[in-house]
Chain A
Amino acid sequence: MKVEIVNLKKHFGVTRAVDDVSFAFSSGQIVGFVGPNGAGKTTTMRILATLDEPTAGDALIDGVSAVEEPERARQLVGYVPDSLPTHRDMSVHEYLDFFARAYGLKGVRREKVVEGVEEFTGLTEIHNKMLVALSKGMKQRVSLARALLHDPQVLIMDEPAAGLDPRARIELRELLRALSSQGKAILISSHILTELSEICHAAVIIERGNVLMAGEIADLLTDGARRRTVLIRALEGRETLYRELLETPRILKVNFAGEEVVAEIDGDDQACCDLLATLVRRGHRVVEFKQQRANLEEIFMNVTKGATQ
């Protein structure tokens, strides 16, 4: 199963919400879709979920076009929007049963599917509770359960972690990991980047409707960071080291951190190597030279400008 976003464009009048976006991902991958508000994430996701039509381009799910064949594409996609279920006078079970009916599930099979999904998402205990009485975390689970009813191969989740407490987030993370291990391709947008880097295999960073960066999280963290932060511990001469570092080209910032000196280098791994060689050449007795890996948040701040459409 492969999901391909092909030269996708969506214009609202003169506003280019999505402007020639292309990327692909496949079964078992959890892909983080990251960008500032108004970057075009939700629009892209809605097109993939067959809810909107692109101005140009297409979204292909296992070769099925979300634009040309939305009916077939819908069988393959589960969509969790950024809003939570709000139906009044309806219990969790009734809500899921309703959507199971809407997906055409019938009889005993429908009951089994609903029960199975309730069990998987941990809703069995509360399935008779009214929807309006649920917490945000529980509503999010209901929303996820609804999207899983027809056993889709692709799951699109728009800000599922927004407003959840730490426990609910951890539980959601576990659910996503379980779904990924079942071979589902998951596209998830979130502003909580630390969380994304923990659960996602890959990420796509988007701004002003354009993909700025896409790749595996590990690669993004190494290749994507324009700056490196290194912790240096010398056997002696901490202050000298500090002063010399300040005078060294491409060193942006130097701080003390206990026994260590923390330096921010404007460059890649090669620049780190060069710095270490320079320090050794100058006679510093370096005991420890450790590169601090950038996190997704730093990458995001580096590559985006916070601009919206």
Chain B
Amino acid sequence: MTAESILKESGARGGLGDRINPIVVKELRQAVQSRFVIATLLTLLSVQIVAIGIYVLASGASLFRFDAGRQSFLMLFAILQSIGMIFTPLYTGARLAAERSDTNVDLLFITTIKPRSIIAGKMFAAMTLTALIYSACMPFMTFTYFLRGIDLPSIFISLGVGFVVVIACVQVAVFVALIPVNRALKVIFGLVALIVFGVAYFVTMFGVNDLIGRGFVARFSWQLAVSLGAITVFLIGLFFVMSVALIMPVSSNRALPVRLFITAAWLLTGVAALTGSLIEEDYRLLIVWLVTFEIIFALALFASVSERDRPGRRVLRSIPRSLLGRARTFFFFSGAANGLAWASLMIALTLAAAVACVGPFLVYRNADDLIDGAKWMGGMCLYFFCYSMTGALLRRHMFTRVGTELTWLIGAMLLIVGSLAPFLTGYIMVFKDQWWSEDLGAWWVGNPFAWGNKGHRVLYTSVGGVWAVLVAAMSLPWFIERLRSFRPTSRVTASDDIESVPRAMASESPSATD
């Protein structure tokens, strides 16, 4: 019986257990057998019991104050959140990194399971584990209601916020675990992620404290909660698609889901930011949108030049045959030229959208800041374009032995040198003792982050503009060649002169190779 017939026969009989993602089943099976998970859960419960016990015993008469419940809830929430934000991401990330380091992930690729399902399964398992931890702590949390000073909706909403933050941290941990670098670099990235988690922890604690203190009916609280919620959901989504891209085989169309997601998010959040700005008559939301996406697209320039120079055959075979289809897919498919075109287009569109919003009939609060922000971000992106393209040029012509995937590193080193070298040169050669009283702005030329200095923007723009034109002109033949070669490939067929391994004498079935 073949696998195909097995699949056909079994399709109708599948129960609920069969519909669950296999990765979830595997992860949860492993989790319930893991001593680490059991020990962490028991430790958390013990700490919660001891903490609430000590609090009640030590409070004495102050227990009858009206904020005893709120105080004890915050204490228990801090314990729960610290365990949740360290344990679950660490557990999920470490396991995935270990699996990634050998061929376990490869083995999954030759099953019918999709990379998206692998990441979704990991995330769902982590969510289940987090839900288990949170539900185990729920009795202690709800107990604080009886100490007064906090209501049940506040307790549940806070736990919901904490849960979402833990999931966001797990998603970041999954992404870090999948970055294809050696163990030492992975540990460094892991430590950076831990610092980010630490910041997220304090922001969460501050936010929950603020929400409980103000009450959830306050308009400001809701605005903040919705904004932060949207950002968190966007980040989870972004890291999810990036994780899927990282786990996809190199030969596949890895960039497609990431670019589609970012473009969709750009469009949706842009419309939402514009709507919010119109309602509030204030451009603040648009400024946040502009800055966020320009930073993302500037980083995307570096990521793009590190993509495969020529798309693989699996990518090429999925290119539409029609000219319109090719033009449409060119921006979204994997490939260095494709990525550069997409990121550059999105940068231009974002700037154009921001400037277009400040029309003669739409002059709201912070309009000047929006225009200034557009100039700042435009300048930053211009320099990012120059550094990434120069890095790509150097790799193609000078560092030919360096892999394409390391082009970002060349660009990043150029960025560091270009940002600091002019200033250091000026400091050593030109500046006098009283350097802090002099205008140093001009010497920051080459630094993409110095565009806040309005006095020298003409210089920065001139240098960046000339540089961009030069580097674009030098890369034009390469780009045109890639553009022309972006078409579906013909299939390889077996030739008659293949050096064949003849059949064994003992075997009876005929062979075409004889």
Contact = CB atoms under 8 A, between A and B. Distances in A.
Contacts of A70: 314
Contacts of A77: 110
Contacts of A202: 501-504
A24 B513 contact: yes
B110 A79 contact: yes
Interface in A48-86: 49-54, 56-58, 60, 65, 67-68, 70-71, 74-75, 77, 79, 81, 83, 85-86
Given A104-B112, A107-B14, A99 B495 contact: no
Interface residues on chain A, size class: 35 or more
A109 B14 CA distance: 9
B102 A83 contact: yes
B103 interface: yes
A104 B494 CA distance: 31
Contacts of B503: 26, 28-29, 201-202, 216
B58 interface: no
A62 to B, nearest CB: 11
A164 interface: no
A58 B492 contact: yes
Contacts, number: 197
A167 to B, nearest CB: 26
A249 B80 CA distance: 88
A22 to B, nearest CB: 4
A109 B313 contact: no
A2 B506 CA distance: 17
A88 B30 contact: yes
Contact of B509 (A14, A28, A88): A28
Contacts of A22: 495, 497-499
A71 to B, nearest CB: 8
Given A85-B104, A89-B30, A6 B495 contact: yes
B2 interface: yes
B249 A51 contact: yes
B216 interface: no
A90 interface: yes
A169 interface: no
A23 B499 contact: yes
A285 to B, nearest CB: 37
A106 B249 contact: no
Interface string A1-44: 01011110000011000000011111111010000000000000
Contacts of A50: 109-110
Given A29-B504, A151-B1, A24 B10 contact: no
B7 interface: yes
A174 interface: no
B29 A151 contact: no
Contact of B10 (A4, A106, A201): A106
Given A51-B110, A152-B3, A214-B499, A86 B491 contact: no
Interface string B303-339: 0000000001110010000000000000000000000
Given A68-B491, A74-B110, A75-B4, A98 B104 contact: no
Contact of A105 (B10, B502, B507, B512): B10
A160 interface: no
A77 B10 CA distance: 21
Interface string B26-39: 10011101100000
A173 interface: no
Given A27-B509, A94-B26, A103 B107 contact: no
Nearest to A47: B251
B7 A104 contact: yes
B458 interface: no
A104 B18 CA distance: 9
B513 A25 contact: yes
Contacts of A71: 112
A26 B512 contact: yes
A74 B495 CA distance: 23
Contacts of A99: 107, 111
Interface of A: 2, 4-7, 13-14, 22-29, 31, 49-54, 56-58, 60, 65, 67-68, 70-71, 74-75, 77, 79, 81, 83, 85-90, 94, 98-99, 101-110, 113, 146, 150-152, 183, 201-204, 211, 214-216, 218-219
B30, B497, B502: most-surrounded residue (chain A CB, <10 A): B502
A106 B13 CA distance: 7
Contacts of B25: 98, 101
Contacts of A49: 110
Contacts of A68: 313-314, 317, 491-492
Contacts of B511: 2, 26-27
B113 interface: yes
Contacts of A58: 491-492, 494
B110 A201 contact: no
B502 A108 contact: no
Contact of A214 (B29, B108, B501): B501
Interface in B89-136: 95, 98-99, 102-104, 106-113
Given A81-B106, A90-B33, A13 B13 contact: no
Nearest to B508: A28
B33, B314, B492, B507: most-surrounded residue (chain A CB, <10 A): B492
Contacts of A110: 10, 18
A214 B513 CA distance: 13
Interface in B477-514: 491-495, 497-507, 509, 511-513
Nearest to A204: B501
A52 B495 CA distance: 22
B219 interface: no
B15 interface: yes
Nearest to A32: B501
A102 B111 contact: yes
Contact of B104 (A52, A87, A204, A216): A87
Contact of B313 (A67, A74, A83, A219): A67
B285 to A, nearest CB: 43
B3 A26 contact: no
B13 A65 contact: no
A228 to B, nearest CB: 22
B139 interface: no
Contacts of B506: 201
Nearest to B19: A106
B18 A219 contact: no
Contact of B502 (A5, A28, A101, A215): A215
Contacts of B18: 101, 106-107, 110
A152 B497 CA distance: 27
17 contacts: A6-B495, A24-B494, A67-B492, A75-B3, A86-B98, A89-B30, A89-B34, A90-B30, A99-B107, A102-B108, A104-B112, A107-B10, A107-B15, A107-B18, A150-B3, A150-B111, A152-B3
B98 to A, nearest CB: 8
A5, A52, A86, A98: most-surrounded residue (chain B CB, <10 A): A98
A211 B30 contact: no
B250 interface: yes
B107 to A, nearest CB: 7
